[in-house]
Structure 1
Amino acid sequence: MKPKNIFLIAVALVVLAAVIYTLTATESPEDYIERIEDERERQFKFIRFNIDSPLSEEQKRSFKALSFYPIDPEYKVTARMVPVSNKKVRELPMTDGTTERYIEHSYAEFTLKGMPLRLLLLQDINEADKRNFFVAFADDTSARETYGGGRYINARQTGKNSITIDFNLAYNPYCAYNPDYACPLPPKENLLKVPIPAGEKNYDK
């Protein structure tokens, strides 16, 4: 075989290996935990220092930390997206009695700790990136260990019919920190009858 052909084959094998690695490589548990910890630190700094924080200046002075469940990679799931037939606009009730409009897009169906679950995926009517979804949910920890009005997840579609739901990134709405804010309440479809001990806990005032 000519040296030139050997070189071309070698290049092709390197490219193929790179493609396979890109398609199959997954985040290590250590990298995943570090990423979640970084996100939690970013969240703390926003709440503590940002001008757009829901905390008052008086609250900021005494604010020391956010409270989270331990990071558990099992609470990051890949869900199957099942389209909602006859998509329509849902008016979610807000904590102040008003409503906010979202598009009922699809259901995320998945198994968590052996339990089959599903959540309604909503999309802001003004969302520019159609791969982004809003999940408002409550579970058996709500009003006990977590905020009674439910928690939120920003979810992103990862495949043609799949989406990643990471409960370790579940966060409190602004009204959990300050009742002067109005926040969407979870739709009835997302009132889970199981505990989800992942993500942010209730804010300790």
Structure 2
Amino acid sequence: MKASQVILVAIGVVVLAAVGYMFTAAESPEAYLDKIEKERDRQFKYIRYNIESPLTEEQKRNFKTLDFYEIDPTYKVKARLIPIEDKKVREVPLTDGSVQRYIEHSYAEFELGGKTNKLLLLQSKEETDMRNFFLAFADETSARETYGGGRYINVRQDGKNSITIDFNLAYNPYCAYNPDYACPIPPKENLMDIAILAGEKNYSK
């Protein structure tokens, strides 16, 4: 066998091994569903029992469940990370009229609902892990099936130029449960004109 053929065979073996690893290491549908269910159970227990829960003691006594959309893997998207070169501090309005300061870090661009969407990723000025971001958004379900003030997702950069956004993990801000809390309002860039039928629905008292 010629040296060039040996190299080609070796490359082929490496490629096949990489593909095989990709399929074996990939999360199975069952494992994914289990992971989301566990996170939802954790959310419920926190809201129901934690001392820092936004619910009043009276609300806790009557609190039975959180309401979610069915888990839909199509709402887990891989987004292109588009850095903002001239990063600025934005004063994000809160529901009580005050403001909270975040860094405008980057945009996440992805395909969903038959169109290209681009959402602004914010980063807390106190964040110590530069791969963590805060995503506040509203969509066509807001004030209908979901909280009118929008929902949140905590996202983490998982590639050099990419980030995974899983809308199945979208959760309500504290003010959805108790108006005494002040919560960040989604920036205008994140008012989506498609329905995100994933994540937490509105809280019913």
TM-score by length of 2: 0.89
Report the 3-state secondary structure (helix = DSSP H, G, I; strand = E; otherwise coil) of the residue aligned with 1:34: helix
- Cα distance in 2 between the residues matched to 1:68 and 1:106: 29
- 1:25 CA drift (Å): 2.1
1:117–1:100 Cα change, 3 Å: same
- 1:30 partner SS: helix
Partner of residue 174, structure 1? 174
Residue 103 of structure 1 contacts residue 125 of structure 1 at CA under 8 Å; is this kept in 2?
A: yes
Query: Could you tell me whether the CA contact under 8 Å between 1:74 and 1:113 is conserved in 2?
Result: no
Superposition deviation, residue 114 in structure 1? 2.5
Identical aligned residues as a percent: 72
Q: Which residue number in structure 2 is paired with residue 84 of structure 1?
A: 84
Q: Which 5+ residue runs of structure 2 have no aligned equivalent?
A: 1-12
- 2:7 is aligned to none
SS of the residue aligned with 1:126? coil
The 2-side partners of 1:25 and 1:45 are apart by 31
Return closer, same or farther for 1:18/1:190 CA change in 2, 3 Å cut-off.
Answer: closer
| Residue deviations 1:38-66 (CA, integer Å, cap 9, x gap) | 00000000000110100000000000000
Secondary structure, in 3 states, of the residue corresponding to 1:101? strand
**Alpha-carbon distance in structure 1 between the residues aligned to 2:74 and 2:29:** 11
1:120 maps to what in 2?
A: 120
Measure, in 1, the Cα distance between the counterparts of 2:22 and 2:123: 29
**Aligned-partner Cα distance in 1 for 2:148–2:194:** 14
- Aligned length in residues: 191
Report the counterpart of residue 148 of structure 1 in structure 2.
148
Query: Residue 75 of structure 1 aligns with which residue?
Result: 75
- 1:19 Cα deviation from its structure 2 partner: 11
Please state whether the residue corresponding to 1:141 is helix, strand or coil: coil
Name the amino acid aligned to 1:106: S
Q: CA deviation at 1:86?
A: 1.1
Q: Structure 1 segments of 4 or more deviating over 3 A?
A: 16-20
What's 1:110 paired with? 110
Q: Give the structure 2 partner of residue 9 of structure 1.
A: none
Alpha-carbon separation, structure 2, partners of 1:186 and 1:24 = 38
Structure 1 residues 130, 20: closer, same or farther in 2, change over 3 A? farther
Task: Please state whether the residue corresponding to 2:108 is helix, strand or coil.
Answer: strand
SS in 2 for 1:90: strand
The SS at the match of 2:66 is coil
> TM-score by structure 1 length?
0.89
- Superposed, which structure 2 residues align to 1:14-93 within 5 Å? 21=21, 25-93=25-93
Comparing 179-188 with 82-91, greater Cα deviation is found at 82-91
Shift of 1:162: 0.4
Cα shift at 1:23 = 9.0
Range 23-32 or range 140-149, more displaced: 23-32
SS at structure 1 position matched to 2:55: coil
Alignment-mate amino acid for residue 52 of structure 1: E
Cα separation, partners in 2 of 1:25 and 1:91, compared to 1, 3 Å: same
Query: What displacement does 1:112 show?
Result: 1.1
What is the match of residue 8 of structure 1?
none
Q: CA deviation at 1:20?
A: 6.5
